[in-house]
Amino acid sequence: MTKIKCTVAYDGSGFHGYQVQPGKRTVQREIQAALARMHHGQTVKIAASGRTDAGVHAFGQVFHFDTPLHLPEERWPMALNSLLPEDIYIREAEEVPDAFHARYAVKMKEYRYRLLTRTEPDLFRRTYTTHIKQPLDLALMNRAAEAIVGTHNFSCFCAANTDVKDKVRTVYHLSIQPENNDETVIRIVGSGFLYQMVRIITGTLLDVGTHKMAAEHVSEIIAGQDRQAASATAPPQGLTLWKVTY
């Protein structure tokens, strides 16, 4: 058996998230269906770096699988892309040592959250951005971000419905920058992220940027370890899993 690591982009708009669910169109299901066709109907399970929720996109999601096929590594993307729907695209593939695991070997993940920051909505970007009509104070948001960077117990930024016990994570980078005239991009890099952590951080930064919450309050929220103290979860549309580093 050969272990293949793939980097995949997908448009989350048309999926009920990454993970297989009975009767639902999911990313994992489509990729496994394509792999099954390549393996004469045999099931090939893939393991990804983590799940993404419905509506969340990926530019650099990573998964691995084991295969008995002897295909040169550079042939996998074209072979799979020819069988995959147009909203999934395998960007790269490489053979990896048997010890590799797309989930357990993750060193860092980068997410980007894209905001449309102008008065008018844009229906062509409605699934790739979250529209924020009010002006955002980026200086305040970046000040609040400084409190989030570092190693903390991030219970305050974790959705309640999770089994994860250890809520300590490290955020290496968090910045909020304007882009393309009318967008604002939140870039966050961390050792790993709790369930809906990026979207809750985004919601909190948005409250700071619209003067609903003081930037200084964010460190108290983190110290308090209480999800209720943080802001509402931002919608999935603006979120993209950008890069996974091993």
Applying CB under 8 A, the residues found at the interface with a copy of itself are: 9-11, 57, 86-89, 91, 120-121, 123-124, 126, 128, 180
Token pair for 111:
């997410």
Between 60 and 192, name the residue whose CB sits nearer to a copy of itself: 60
- Minimum Å distance from CB 128 to a copy of itself? 6
Strands, E assignment, the chain: 2-10, 47-48, 57-67, 88-96, 108-116, 130-131, 150-153, 168-179, 183-190, 239-245
- Minimum Å distance from CB 246 to a copy of itself? 22
As a whole number of angstroms, the distance between CA 231 and CA 208 comes to 10
Between 66 and 122, name the residue whose CB sits nearer to a copy of itself: 122
Catalytic choice (53, 66, 207, 226): 53
Residues with Cβ within 8 Å of 24's Cβ and at least 6 positions away in sequence, in order, are 16
* Tokens 């974790």 found at: 158
Residues with Cβ within 8 Å of 62's Cβ and at least 6 positions away in sequence, in order, are 5, 6, 7, 8, 48, 49, 102, 244, 246
- Minimum Å distance from CB 145 to a copy of itself? 25
Between 19 and 85, name the residue whose CB sits nearer to a copy of itself: 85
Between 128 and 154, name the residue whose CB sits nearer to a copy of itself: 128
Q: Is 104 annotated as a binding residue?
A: no
166 counts as catalytic: no
- Minimum Å distance from CB 242 to a copy of itself? 12
Kindly list the catalytic residues: 53
Binding site, residues? 111
Binding site for substrate, residues? 111
